[in-house]
Amino acid sequence: MTVPTVRRQALDDQELILLRLLADGLSADAVARRLGTSERTVRRRVRAICDRLGVPAPISAVVWAVRRGLL
């Protein structure tokens, strides 16, 4: 499997915070409460991150960011 090359700029600070909270084990609902937004917004943003990175699931996005030293 080829890992897509994406520059750090591909993830903004808010997206990295979102991934960090997921990496810490928070659910989408808990992340939403922490960030003061809706669970639907969190799920939509996570899906957009996954699509942009070319990964199939949120955990894959977290792993992608960890492997690149972003988290």
For 61, the domain range is 11-67
Q: What share of the chain is helix, strand, coil (3-state, %, to 5)?
A: 65, 0, 35
* Per-residue pLDDT reduced to its tens digit, 4-42: 555 545 799 999 999 999 999 999 999 999 999 999 999
pLDDT at 10: 78
Euclidean distance between CA atoms 71 and 69, whole angstroms: 6
Q: Report if residue 33 sits inside a domain.
A: yes
Q: Flag whether 15 is in a domain.
A: yes
Report the number of distinct structural domains present in the chain: 1
Looking at residue 22, which CATH number applies to its domain?
1.10.10.10
The predicted model scores a pTM of 0.82
> Domain for residue 4, yes or no?
no
Query: Does residue 1 lie within any of the structural domains?
Result: no
> Binning pLDDT at 50, 70 and 90, where does residue 43 land?
very high
Give me the pLDDT at residue 3, please: 52
Output the pLDDT for position 57.
96
The tokens for 60 are 């894959």
- Look at residue 30 and tell me if it is in a domain: yes
